[in-house]
């Protein structure tokens, strides 16, 4: 009896498994292989060249810069999206009359495609764009900037736009987490005379860890895979100042260097895995159950 | 446990079977219509691949194709490729030997994207080749690789507003000092002298691409051969540095829009229509764009004034026909070019499109004023020069980014050329060019 039940579940998984293999597993393995070859548009006889592509990645100044930029972007957005998302969630978890409206407002940017957001922000961030005009209107002349064309701040600008877009989404996950925490804990804490700071750190944060974990993972992986916002707002420029791993992959393919492009992609995969999995395991251990 | 293992094996086998059958399907598709049977003897069908964005191309007007079929019993089948995928699709087709018989593409890009030398026929000995007036616009590496009835390439230089020049009593500057003086006068009148849309990095290449090529043609004719065999480097020519400094100086002297790295090419037409700007380093396609919006605007183009009496830059022509070496119907494909090149057909195309004829026995019809100026002042007296794009065998986008970086303050002209040397040599090495 049990056996047929098992078989049945396997039949059902078959179509999905086949599609998954054909369109993901096989290309992924093929990509892994191609990253060790000199696959090029004008040289179709593949030769296995070992680690050469990877050596090239680490000897190319632009690629190093792109890795740095990706790291900066990932770090800034992970911190920004989660801190702001959490603050919004805690704030909007209180009994406010406008809380539903405010929740909708903060969540709404994440409904839009990041492409749309980037296109909207590009003119606003010009030297004589809306952002600078607003700064000047309130007397903050000194803060006005060439946001997207100053090589030293451009990656930060893009990160801030990305935070603006996505913090509301993080807020939604935190809100869900907050609402699953039973009020009894807070009541008990109140009776014991705990300050609201203390109950936040001793009750809210630990019980919110599952939501924090999910958000950290989502923002970290999203941050490391950043592409669209950079591509639309600067195309990696000015010069190469805002290149990230994603745009470098595109550049390599454009240059006909398919092998190198897949190598960068493989590297990104490995980096994401190396960072994400230990973090996931570490955070899981910290989780407590109610 | 055992059953589970068997299932696993079965899954893998099935997955691989499916993969194979999918691949097989792809391969089975390759039978490009060679014979359609019928009572008459095998009728040949040529496959002509063009980008969807070129669907108003002169070569594929249905009446011309019908006439060709009637005369030769060769049918031409069109393959329209989505514009944004044209390069990838053609690269793939060429790579797996599923080549169309004729391809319409851009010569300069074909050199870098499609491996011109390896994939396409040399057309030097075709019957029409001897009637060609301007071989340069169809050639790469000293051979004719492409076909067109027009020699009307995109001309690149300084696009300027004739009316503003007239009102301010200015004449076309023929050297750099005169150019700065012109800028000064325009600025004094309250109009921005030069519009630089360098958010689009490629736009920063118009000045150097013409200036470099003009200097090399006059002073070091073997430079590009030496460059492509690694005997010379970009940084070896001190004048190149000067030309880059000049373009940057136009910006630092305040003769341009303030936000050169935020402004993009798509704003250019509007800037000219509003008479906010007087000049721009660009191709004559900009004039066409402005004229479409407002035919009363009088724009013209003069050479990049980097040196005394420079030539006008000519970009390698867009949208020529190429014949792949692996075409299944080589003879018929060449026959098709012969047909279009015939005096009668070529004349019809040139007339209907307002082209500058590239055949010595086909007459050029009446042209728009700016085009007529270009023909009279530059093409007929042979004062044009192919821009550097025509001689570069590699993807040029990194050069554009470096030029953009100069305006972001990241690189000096010297560093631009040094960095491009490095990248150029790496790209050539990747490509497997001898000597790198």
Following DSSP, what letter does each residue of A8-75 receive, concatenated?
A: HHHHHHHHHHHHHIIIIIHHHHHHHHHTTB--BTTB-S--B-TTHHHHHHHH-HHHHHHHHHHHHHHH
Residue A179 has pLDDT above 60, yes or no: yes
pLDDT per residue as tens digits for the range A214-240: 999 999 999 999 999 999 999 888 989
- For residue B75, give how far its alpha carbon lies from the nearest alpha carbon of chain A (Å): 31
SS3 at position B36: coil
User: Which residues in B lie closer than 8 A to residue A150 (C-beta atoms)?
Assistant: 408
> Cα–Cα distance between A109 and A91 in angstroms, integer?
18
Number of A:B CB contacts under 8 A? 102
pLDDT computed for residue A63 by the predictor: 87
pLDDT computed for residue B12 by the predictor: 46
The answer to whether the beta carbons of residues A154 and A76 sit under 8 Å apart is no
> Cα–Cα distance between A184 and A190 in angstroms, integer?
10
User: Which residues in A lie closer than 8 A to residue B95 (C-beta atoms)?
Assistant: 41, 44
Q: Which residue of A has its CA nearest to B110?
A: A42
pLDDT per residue as tens digits for the range B293-339: 898 999 999 999 999 999 999 876 668 999 999 999 999 999 999 99
Best A37, A41, A65 residue to mutate vs chain B (most B CBs within 10 Å): A41
Is residue A241 less than 8 Å (CB to CB) from chain B? Answer: yes
- Helix, strand counts (H, E) of chain B: 17, 12
* pLDDT category of residue A88 using cuts at 50, 70 and 90: very high
pLDDT computed for residue A290 by the predictor: 54
Angstrom CA distances, B266 to B195, B209, B281, B407, stand at 12, 21, 14, 19
- For residue A42, give how far its alpha carbon lies from the nearest alpha carbon of chain B (Å): 6
A34 burial (CB, 10 Å; 0-12 / 13-18 / 19+) is buried
Block residue for tokens 């190093």 = A64
Is residue A281 less than 8 Å (CB to CB) from chain B? Answer: no
pLDDT computed for residue B84 by the predictor: 62
User: Which residues in B lie closer than 8 A to residue A10 (C-beta atoms)?
Assistant: 7
User: Which residues in B lie closer than 8 A to residue A41 (C-beta atoms)?
Assistant: 91, 95, 113, 115
Helix (H) or strand (E) holding A157: helix A154-179
B377 forms bridges with which residues in the sheet?
A: none
- For residue A197, give how far its alpha carbon lies from the nearest alpha carbon of chain B (Å): 46
Pick out chain B residues at pLDDT < 70: 1-41, 53, 83-84, 316-318
pLDDT per residue as tens digits for the range A36-80: 998 886 666 788 888 988 998 888 888 889 999 999 999 999 999
pLDDT computed for residue B389 by the predictor: 81
Is residue A26 less than 8 Å (CB to CB) from chain B? Answer: yes
Q: Which residue of B has its CA nearest to A44?
A: B95
Chain B residues near any Cβ of chain A (below 8 Å) = 3, 7, 11, 14-15, 18-19, 22, 91, 95, 112-113, 115, 118, 199, 201, 258-259, 261-262, 394-395, 397-398, 401-402, 404-411, 427, 430-432
Burial code (b: 16+ CB inside 10 Å, e: under 16) for A147-177 equals bbbbbebbbbbbbbbbbbbbbbbbbbbbbeb
Angstrom CA distances, B104 to A10, B53, B335, stand at 51, 11, 16
Q: Do B411 and A239 touch (CB under 8 A)?
A: yes
Task: Single out the residue of A36, A11, A20 nearest to residue A259, CA to CA.
Answer: A36
> Cα–Cα distance between B260 and A128 in angstroms, integer?
12
- For residue B116, give how far its alpha carbon lies from the nearest alpha carbon of chain A (Å): 10
pLDDT computed for residue B274 by the predictor: 95
């Amino acid at each position: 009896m049990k056996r047929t039940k098992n078989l049945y579940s396997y039949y059902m998984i078959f179509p999905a498994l086949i599609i998954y293999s054909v369109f993901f597993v096989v290309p992924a393995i093929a990509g892994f292989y191609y990253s060790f070859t000199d696959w090029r548009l004008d040289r179709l006889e593949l030769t296995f060249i070992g680690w050469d592509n990877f050596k090239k990645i680490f000897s190319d100044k632009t690629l190093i810069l792109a890795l740095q930029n990706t790291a900066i972007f990932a770090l800034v957005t992970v911190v920004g999206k989660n801190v702001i998302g959490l603050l919004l969630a805690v704030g909007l978890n209180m009994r406010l009359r406008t809380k539903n409206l405010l929740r909708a407002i903060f969540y709404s940017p994440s409904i839009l495609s990041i492409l749309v957001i980037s296109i909207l922000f590009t003119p606003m961030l010009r030297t004589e764009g809306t952002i600078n005009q607003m700064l000047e209107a309130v007397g903050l002349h000194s803060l006005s900037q060439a946001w997207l064309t100053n090589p030293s701040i451009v990656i930060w600008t893009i990160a801030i736009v990305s935070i603006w877009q996505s913090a509301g989404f993080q807020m939604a996950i935190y809100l869900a987490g907050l609402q699953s925490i039973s009020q009894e804990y807070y009541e008990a804490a109140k009776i014991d005379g705990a300050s609201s700071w203390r109950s936040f750190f001793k009750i809210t944060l630990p019980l919110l860890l599952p939501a924090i974990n999910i958000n950290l993972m989502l923002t970290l992986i999203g941050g490391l895979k950043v592409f669209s916002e950079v591509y639309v707002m600067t195309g990696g420029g000015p010069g190469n100042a805002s290149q990230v791993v994603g745009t470098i992959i595109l550049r390599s393919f454009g240059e006909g260097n398919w092998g190198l492009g897949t190598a960068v992609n493989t590297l990104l995969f490995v980096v994401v895995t190396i960072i994400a999995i230990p973090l996931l395991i570490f955070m899981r251990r910290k989780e407590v159950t109610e | 446990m055992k059953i589970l293992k068997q299932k696993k094996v079965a899954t893998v086998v099935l997955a691989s079977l499916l993969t194979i059958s999918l691949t097989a399907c792809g391969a089975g598709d390759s039978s490009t219509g060679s014979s359609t049977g019928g009572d008459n003897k095998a009728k040949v069908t040529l496959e002509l691949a063009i980008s969807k964005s070129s669907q108003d191309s002169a070569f594929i007007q249905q009446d011309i194709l019908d006439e060709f079929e009637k005369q030769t019993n060769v049918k031409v089948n069109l393959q329209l490729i989505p514009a944004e995928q044209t390069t990838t699709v053609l690269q793939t087709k060429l790579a797996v030997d599923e080549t169309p018989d004729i391809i319409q593409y851009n010569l300069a890009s074909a050199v870098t994207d499609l491996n011109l030398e390896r994939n396409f026929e040399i057309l030097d000995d075709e019957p029409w080749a001897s009637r060609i007036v301007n071989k340069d616009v169809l050639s790469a590496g000293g051979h004719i690789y492409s076909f067109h009835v027009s020699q009307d390439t995109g001309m690149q230089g300084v696009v300027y507003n004739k009316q503003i020049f007239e009102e301010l009593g200015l004449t076309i500057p023929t050297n750099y000092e005169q150019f700065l003086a012109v800028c000064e006068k325009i600025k004094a009148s309250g109009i921005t002298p030069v519009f630089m849309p360098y958010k689009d990095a490629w736009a920063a290449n118009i000045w150097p691409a013409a200036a470099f090529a003009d200097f090399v043609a006059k002073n070091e004719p073997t430079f590009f051969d030496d460059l492509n065999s690694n005997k010379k480097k970009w940084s070896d020519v001190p004048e190149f540095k000067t030309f880059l400094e000049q373009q940057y100086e136009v910006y630092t002297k305040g003769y341009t829009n303030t936000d050169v790295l935020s402004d993009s090419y798509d704003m250019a037409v509007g800037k000219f229509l509003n008479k906010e700007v007087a000049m721009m380093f660009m191709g004559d396609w900009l004039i066409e764009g402005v004229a479409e919006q407002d035919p009363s605007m009088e724009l013209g183009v003069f050479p990049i004034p980097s040196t005394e009496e420079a030539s006008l830059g000519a970009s390698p022509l867009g949208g020529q026909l190429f014949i792949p070496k692996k075409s299944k119907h080589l003879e018929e494909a060449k026959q098709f070019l012969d047909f279009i090149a015939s005096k009668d057909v070529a004349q019809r195309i040139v007339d209907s499109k307002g082209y500058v004829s590239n055949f010595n026995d086909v007459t050029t019809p009446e042209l728009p004023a700016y085009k007529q100026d270009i023909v009279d002042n530059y093409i007929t007296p042979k004062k044009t020069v192919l821009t550097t794009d025509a001689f570069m065998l590699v993807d040029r986008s990194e050069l554009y980014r470096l030029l953009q970086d100069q305006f972001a303050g990241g690189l000096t002209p010297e560093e631009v050329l040094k960095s491009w040397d490095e990248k150029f040599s790496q790209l050539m090495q990747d490509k497997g060019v001898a000597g790198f």
